[in-house]
Structure 1
Amino acid sequence: MENRDELATTPARETALSCVAAGIEAALPERVVANRVALDGGVLTVADARYDLDSFSTVLLVGAGKGSGRLAAALVDALDGRVDGGVVVTDEPTDASPVDVLVGDHPVPTVRNVDAARRIRDCVADAPDDALVLVALTGGASALLTLPAGDLTVDDLAGVTRDLLDAGASVSALNAVRKHCSAVKGGRLARTAVPARLVTLAISDVVGDDPSVVGSGPTVPDGTTYADAAAVLDRYDVPAPTVREHLQRGVDGTEPETPRTDDPAFDRAGYHVLANAETALSAAAAVARERGCEPLVLSTSVEGEAREAGRFHAAVAREIRATGQPVDPPAVLLSGGECTVGVHGDGAGGPNLEFGLAAALDLCGSDDVAVAAVDTDGRDGSTDAAGALVDGATVDDTAAARDALADNDSLGYLDGRDAVLRTGATGTNVNDLRVVVVEREQ
């Protein structure tokens, strides 16, 4: 953490920071590959699956996501010289030689993303029939792996992505649109790989770890349709005329639907989740126990408006202080998932910053309670902050704090109040991690 010394001003805040650090570190690609991937002779073991590398003429590694560069580098090291090449796209330069690491943009795609996605598709398409193609997939792949379908352009996809994000669309809704506007998402990369053997190694950033949602499911069957994607635009009142025309052609049957479970493209495709929200929460809970606090995991799948989730977590903390329910203090409440923000103002912030500011408002004057909420990739929304660390003293002007929430300016209010947590890019992403520390009353 870049500003830990500034933030660790009370025992509760220090405990919250330690839990956050442990959660992120547990999900780092190097750690999860060491725990889940092994090479014994010529046999690659991933969880309970075994792959005889000597039965393949070549091993290629492709991938996408904000942690895909470090995941690719960890896999190259684990395979000890057996990776022959490949291409991944991420948002930070990384050395994963002999795999080429290309840098794209997130969360709104640009032409750099398209160029990288085209190279990845071409790499997979050119793989020999007896090749093993490993796919390193992490959060952020939906934006970074962008290759427009049909007559769509990257500007079309950037516009609809921005509009849906601003409208507070869930990741599954957003990805239904992305999959039906893409030449590689929604199982289409798997089709490109046929007849090579395809194995996806994913660090999941989605609630429930649904493979068809992680990175918009480029290597797995898709359960959504063009009609579903069109309905998302209707639900969030997003115009996107060019995208709507493309989706309507799909509804009419003039654009091919994404592949289903019975598609032969998946006959030789495997999928493994190496880490997820539970990975981070388990590590954070272990730190809480070491510090004499009782950990309670509320959920790995908290979704909805960030400010409402923040108020709920604050309410549980107040209940613990008042009644000892659902757990006696000292305690640490933990949750994961992905909250969203409906953007109505012109301020700066992200879901975790807004979560933190709403929680701080409800905790005004509460002693010995600290709340940390971070995006484990190190960037909350479009900000350079990972999230927020707040307590009962954070809000010193409730009217100004409420105005900031109304203007979606959580970063503007929290910055300078020792309440913004900064990590820089972490190299992983298992989505949001929230830690509420409730100390024993003094």
Structure 2
Amino acid sequence: MTIENSLLQKMRQDAVDIFNEGLGAVDPKICVHRCCRLKNNVLKVNNKAYNLDKFERIIVLGAGKAGASMACAVEEILQDRITAGIVIVKYNHIENLKRIAIVEAGHPVPDTNGVAGAEKLLKMARQADDKTLVICLISGGGSALMTLPAHGITLENKQKTTKILLGCGATIHEINTIRKHLSRIKGGLLAQTVYPAPMICLVLSDVVGNDLDIIASGPAVADKGTFGQCLEIIETYGIKDHLPKTVLQHFKKGSKNLIPETLKQGDPVFENVFHTTIASNINALLSAEKKARQLGYHTQILSSMIEGETTDVADVHTAIAREILATGHPLKPPACILSGGETTVTIKGKGKGKGGRNQEFALASAIRIKDLEHIVILSAGTDGTDGPTDAAGAVADHTTIQRAVALDLKPELFLEENNAYPFFDRISDLFKTGATNTNVMDLRIMLIR
């Protein structure tokens, strides 16, 4: 192995080590234990205390990719004080739980398991009263996993609508505004169901800005969105003619007040609800930054709130890499640029490509740095899943395009067709972690020497 190859391999391993350090900081079990303490039968959640002697029952409800791990920590803390519970998680995102049932369901497109799980969850929620303490565990993915279509809307309607929204370039805020208005459990309706029972909501954020009403579509939060805004989103992305007619009719009826709105600020059902965010993307970035410094890199966190079209974000990141190499600004090499958030991919062509926003970011970046040496880029989802694939993301460096061309691959064509997965699969640069049981959006790591 040449010195240059040895350096490149070390940088690639450094990128993986930095990612894993960031991932460790948002381990749901650690995060739940950090904010919840039980002493003398008093449960303290940050600075709020609950005397468990006042309650006859404790039930645990939840949905999201981190649901099982969060539930595991709650069982470790409360043990046999838990009366019953149910969490809905993505397939294979499981733990060995004793008192809380797990339902595995489809994500990002909802399925029948998600509907059945949501029905069971809502049935358990209806049993709550003022002598019941409800602990709600919310994490990314909850919108798809906890699916309970509004009256008159079928699961097939929601599945088709979800697929269209995921491919049109809409942001997660816009997608979840629509999801809330097609649901019998989101947009504060779960809080309404358990009222007047006190509810503790532990939230692992996968949303830019940590907006509680957007994470898992806010089942226990007042909703800022309206039916009218749903119609505006549909017009903005030109998807009106592609959506099921029953969905459009539902929104039109809602905008005319013929269907009740989601619950809004000031509704009494939220008086007994306490929310706390136990971790978010910035926690992962700060831990990753610490690791990068230990490895000898000058570090810079750009932001934990980066949104926008994936290829545009790749343009900005690779431009920063060029600046570092050319002028030593904003950092001198060896440099580590970190960023987080959630970009969007607008599906082009016939929509038959396979990949995700992280793989697309890595491919777009690889094309832009093909003439630059000693740059390694790793982009991956903290949940271990990038789009509908088994990869968390991908790794790219200045040899990526060279190796692809040697195999007669045309990188620009793969990018144009949103087909990054088979591209990176052919050159063995997919980044696979398996299910991580957490989710705080994406981490992008760019190393420059």
Q: Do 1:356 and 1:388's aligned partners in 2 also have CA atoms closer than 8 Å?
A: yes
Q: Distance in 1 between matches of 2:238 and 2:97?
A: 42
1:100 maps onto 2:101 in alignment: yes
> Quick one: which amino acid aligns to residue 42 of structure 2?
V
1:267 maps onto 2:271 in alignment: yes
Q: Do 1:226 and 1:250's aligned partners in 2 also have CA atoms closer than 8 Å?
A: yes
Deviation for aligned residue 1:55: 1.6
Q: Distance in 2 between matches of 1:223 and 1:141?
A: 18
Deviation for aligned residue 1:9: 5.8
Deviation for aligned residue 1:57: 1.3
> Which residues in structure 2 correspond to 1:22-421 (within 5 Å)?
22-91=21-90, 92=92, 93-238=94-239, 239=241, 240=243, 241-345=245-349, 346-396=352-402, 400-421=410-431
Q: Where does residue 3 of structure 2 map in the other structure?
A: none
Deviation for aligned residue 1:287: 0.3
Residue aligned with 1:209, SS: coil
Q: Flag structure 1 segments of 5+ consecutive residues without an equivalent.
A: 1-6
Residue aligned with 1:366, SS: coil
Moved more, 284-293 or 408-417: 408-417
Q: Distance in 2 between matches of 1:208 and 1:194?
A: 28
Q: Distance in 2 between matches of 1:15 and 1:21?
A: 10
Q: Distance in 2 between matches of 1:287 and 1:325?
A: 21
Q: Distance in 2 between matches of 1:306 and 1:34?
A: 35
Residue aligned with 2:221, SS: coil
Q: Distance in 2 between matches of 1:262 and 1:409?
A: 46
Q: Do 1:8 and 1:14's aligned partners in 2 also have CA atoms closer than 8 Å?
A: no
Q: Where does residue 3 of structure 1 map in the other structure?
A: none
Residue aligned with 2:114, SS: helix
Q: Do 2:336 and 2:448's aligned partners in 1 also have CA atoms closer than 8 Å?
A: yes
Moved more, 398-407 or 108-117: 398-407
Residue aligned with 2:376, SS: strand
1:89-116: CA deviations, max 9, x gaps?
0012432221110111000011111110
> Quick one: which amino acid aligns to residue 230 of structure 1?
L
Deviation for aligned residue 1:31: 1.8
> Quick one: which amino acid aligns to residue 59 of structure 2?
L
Moved more, 155-164 or 83-92: 83-92
Q: Do 2:305 and 2:342's aligned partners in 1 also have CA atoms closer than 8 Å?
A: yes
Q: Where does residue 435 of structure 1 map in the other structure?
A: 445
CA distance 1:320–1:384, shift in 2 (3 Å): same
Moved more, 414-423 or 348-357: 414-423
Q: Distance in 2 between matches of 1:306 and 1:262?
A: 38
Q: Distance in 2 between matches of 1:187 and 1:8?
A: 52
Deviation for aligned residue 1:416: 2.9
1:425 maps onto 2:435 in alignment: yes
Q: Do 2:381 and 2:442's aligned partners in 1 also have CA atoms closer than 8 Å?
A: yes
Q: Distance in 1 between matches of 2:206 and 2:68?
A: 16
1:38-84: CA deviations, max 9, x gaps?
21221212222222222211111000011111111111112233222
Moved more, 339-348 or 34-43: 34-43
Moved more, 125-134 or 144-153: 125-134
Stretches (4+) displaced over 6 A = none
Residue aligned with 2:426, SS: coil
Q: Where does residue 11 of structure 2 map in the other structure?
A: 12
Residue aligned with 1:189, SS: helix
Q: Do 1:33 and 1:78's aligned partners in 2 also have CA atoms closer than 8 Å?
A: no
TM-score by length of 1: 0.95
Q: Distance in 2 between matches of 1:291 and 1:43?
A: 43
> Quick one: which amino acid aligns to residue 323 of structure 2?
E
Deviation for aligned residue 1:156: 0.5
Moved more, 225-234 or 30-39: 30-39
Deviation for aligned residue 1:36: 2.0
Q: CA RMSD in A?
A: 1.4
Q: Distance in 2 between matches of 1:8 and 1:357?
A: 21
Q: Do 1:8 and 1:17's aligned partners in 2 also have CA atoms closer than 8 Å?
A: no
Q: Distance in 1 between matches of 2:219 and 2:45?
A: 20
Deviation for aligned residue 1:35: 2.1
Q: Distance in 1 between matches of 2:288 and 2:260?
A: 45
TM-score by length of 2: 0.94
Moved more, 232-241 or 171-180: 232-241
Residue aligned with 1:39, SS: strand
Q: Flag structure 2 segments of 5+ consecutive residues without an equivalent.
A: 1-5
Percent identity reads 36
Deviation for aligned residue 1:8: 10
Aligned residues: 433
Deviation for aligned residue 1:244: 0.7
> Quick one: which amino acid aligns to residue 15 of structure 2?
A
Q: Distance in 2 between matches of 1:42 and 1:8?
A: 55
Residue aligned with 2:73, SS: helix
> Quick one: which amino acid aligns to residue 416 of structure 1?
R
